[in-house]
Amino acid sequence: MYKPHFNDNMPHNLWFYYEMINMEADHKIATQKRLEKTFIDFLFRKYYISSEDLKKKSYFELVREREEDDNVIELYGEIWNNIEELKHKPQNEVLVYIKSIKLIFNKGNFEDWIQQHKRGKPCNDC
């Protein structure tokens, strides 16, 4: 099987979507803890949160400061709460939740990034 080549300049929403697809495809790694870590990584990537920033404030405070859209902040809070509720649920419920939210993060115009990516490294027609 071929693995796509992705780099750090991948759009953040697309990166999170890709990670959820990986969890969905490999049921062994679809755990609440992994989904939580991936969501936090998404927030770190999207809002450029550094370890220095975290010494001063929590990542939720930093996201609240850096995100202008209140609807997005509310969505992230809802996702965080739902992930927390999955702690003591079976793995199949984690998969159901991943399926329910992944399409939220596959929205946007990624055409520029795809064209730029195709010119850079070879990929499997991403």
What confidence tier does 105 reach under pLDDT thresholds 50, 70, 90?
confident
| Per-residue pLDDT at 50 exceeds 90 | no
Per-residue pLDDT for 44 more than 70?
yes
Q: How much is the pLDDT for 120? A: 56
Rounded Cα gap, residues 112 and 9, in angstroms:
12
Diameter over CA atoms, the chain: 45
